[in-house]
Amino acid sequence: MRGSRRAHSSAVDARRGSRYNRRNKGGDMNRKWLLGLILVLLGLSGALAQQSRLDVVKGRGRLVCGVNAVLPGFGFLDQKTGRYTGFDVEFCRAVAAALFGDPDKVDYVPLDARVRFQAVQNGEVDVAFRNTTVTANRDGALGVDFLPVTFYDGQGVMVKKGRANSLRELQDATFCTTQGTTNEKNITDYIRAQKWRNAKLLTFEDGAKVMAAFLQGRCDAFTADKSQLVGFRATSPKPEELVILKETISKEPLAGFVRENDSRWRDALSWIVYATIQAEEYGITQKNLDQFLKSELPEIRRFLGLEGTLAQDLGLPRDFVVRVIRAVGNYGEIYDRFFGPKSPFYIPRTGTLNALQRYGGLMYSPPFR
The answer, yes or no, to whether residue 254 has pLDDT greater than 80, is yes
- Out of 3.40.50.150, 3.40.190.10, 3.30.300.210, 3.10.129.10, which CATH number does the structure's domain 157-250 have? 3.40.190.10
* pLDDT band at 79; cut points 50, 70, 90: confident
Per-residue pLDDT averaged across 37-51, rounded? Answer: 51
For the beta sheet containing 155-160, the strands, ordered from the edge strand earlier in sequence to the opposite edge, are 200-204, 174-178, 221-225, 155-160, 242-244
Q: What is the pLDDT of residues 257-290, one digit of tens each?
A: 999 999 999 999 999 999 999 999 999 999 999 9
Q: Do the two domains 53-153+253-359 and 157-250 of this chain adopt the same fold?
A: yes
Which residues contact residue 42 at a Cβ distance below 8 angstroms, ignoring those fewer than 6 apart? none
Going by C-alpha positions, the residue among 132, 141, 140, 249 that lies closest to residue 188 is: 249
CATH class of the domain whose range is 53-153+253-359:
alpha beta
Q: What is the pLDDT of residues 7-27, one digit of tens each?
A: 444 444 444 455 545 455 555
What is the average pLDDT value for the chain, to the nearest integer? 91
Give the residue extent of every domain in the chain. 53-153+253-359, 157-250
Q: What is the pLDDT of residues 136-177, one digit of tens each?
A: 999 999 999 999 999 999 999 999 999 999 999 999 999 999
Q: Are 263 and 153 in contact (CB under 8 A)?
A: no
